[in-house]
Structure formats: structure tokens, C-alpha cells
Amino acid sequence: MASLGLSEADKQSVETFRQTVVEPSRTSLVIVDFWAEWCGPCKQLTPVIEKVAADYASKGVKLVKVNVDEERFIAAQFRVQSIPTVYAVFKGQPVADLSQARTEGQLKQMLDQILAQLPIQSDDAALEQEIAPLLAMGEEILDGGEPERAMSIFAQIEQMAPGNFDATAGAARALVLLGQLDAAQEALDSLPPEASKAQSVERARAALALARDAKPVSDLSALEARVAADPDDHEARYELAGGHMANGDNDAAADALLEIIRRDREWNEGAARTQLLTLFGAVGLENPWVSAQRRKLSAILFG
């Protein structure tokens, strides 16, 4: 937007527009709302557009209002002929006309479509990149058997990103390892309904379920003797699997459960398979160990 030959007032308008719209639009999506005090429809639209802009601020959306009576030169540059006129601006150029959006739903739908196509640098994306390595570190430390250290990392993430499902789920799993099952349940219950399908939350719930069922057994020899004497004593083998899980020996637990399934897949209404799937969920469905055990299960069921 050239400023040669302009009045001082117009030059100031151009400079203000550059600072408030053009520069921010290099990395953000700027909604430019052309309005006037005497415009009734503008006043009706104002609370809608301000709310949506506030809701989308973390997604990289900014709102700039331009009074056409005070900024006639800017309005002329955008060929504003009626108001309200609303444009979405990116890298200094209008990329969409939002003027027809009159409701919150319409405006959000249009913004979602625009944001999906542009490389907007949102606060949400930046925060996600920042906490991703912390989440990975917390998971690694937790899998290494250090729940207290993991708890401190997940707590740090929750401070940075309140409501982060993965951090809360990780903290819950750490509490399970620490034996604080009620606290783990409380943490999971604090999550909103939409978190229930998150893989990290499902894993934490599975770990909690196993911990509630597990009964640590210091000496498994009696159960092993029962199984050796009667390989079809599935109750003893099932208890043996639970003892192995409580003692952290997932390999032995899986072997015991798979053997029950191999001998009688319908025993106790499929309890062995249900417990094995719960174990898979607790370990993590993407874990290579789970993939290997799934292959063994498939060989038994379909071999």
C-alpha cells in the first residue's frame, strides 16, 4: 500500500494499518472488520465476531476493527462499498471475504476451512511442539520404572498446558505405579468426556484396572505346582498370570493367558482374552511387545 503523494493523515493510516494488520498477518490470520458507529448490522455482528476471534486467538487469529468514517483511505483501498465488510488477511493480502457470516457457527466454519489451508503459526501448535519432547521424556522415565520423576514432568506439562489429556493420563499411570489408585482414578475422572477416546487415557484406564485386580504374590510356586499337576486348572493359571502382572513380568503373564486361550478360549466367559487385551492396553497398543503378543493370539485363534 504505497504512501507517496498522500496527506499526513493518510500516511499515518497506512502506517497504522501496516503495524496492526500487515505485519501480524505474516504469521497470523487477521480478521479485518470494517464498521461504523451508525451501522446497526455492525453492532449486531460485533459481539459475535469478537467472541469468535477470542476463541480462535490460540489458533493464530487476530481481530482488527477499522472505522470507515475515520479510515476512509484504508476502506477505499479495500473497495468497501457497504458495511459490515469483513476480510481475512494473510501475508498482507485478503484471502477470504467473511462478510456473509452472521452467526458464530458460520464464522467458525469459514475460519476452520481457511486455517486448514494456510501455514498459520498458532499458539496451540507452538505449545504442542514445546511439550512433545517433555511428554516423550515422561513416558520414557515412567516405562523405566521411575514414577516419581515422571510425575514431576507430567505436572510441569499440566502447568504449561492445562487440560492436556496425555499429561493427565501419564500422571495417572505414575500414580498407579506408586500404588495411589484412588488418586489415579480421581485424575482420570477429572478429564472431560471427549478425552475418553484418547489412546493415552485408554492406556491409563487399563493400567488402573489391572492394578485394582492384581494381587502381588511373593511366592508363585504353589500356583505353578497346581498348573504343573493339572494343566487344565485354568483358575490357577489365571491367578498365576495375575501374580506375574503384579510382579511386573508381562511376558510370563501373557504366556499364561495365551495358554488358557489355547486350551479353552471360552473359559470363564473369555476372561483370559479380556485380561490379555487389558494388558495390551496398559502396555500401549503401539508398543512392539504388544504387536508380537497379538501375533501369538491370532495364531491361536485363527491357526
Residues with a catalytic annotation lie at 39, 42
- Phi then psi for residue 241, to 5 deg, are -60, -40
Question: Among the residues of the chain, which ranges form H helices?
Answer: 8-17, 40-55, 72-77, 104-115, 123-143, 147-160, 165-177, 181-189, 199-213, 221-229, 234-246, 250-264, 271-283, 288-302
Question: Residue 96's closest CA among 16, 19, 44, 25?
Answer: 25
Cell numbers at residue 158, please? Answer: 499440566
Which residues have C-beta within 8 Å of that of residue 167, sequence separation ≥ 6?
Answer: 131, 135, 138, 154, 157, 158, 161
Contact between 240 and 224 (Cβ < 8 Å): yes
Mutual angle of helices 271-283 and 288-302, in 10-degree steps: 160
Residue 74 contacts residue 85 (beta carbons within 8 Å)? no
Distance (Å, whole) CA 90 – CA 122: 13
d(CA 39, CA 27): 31
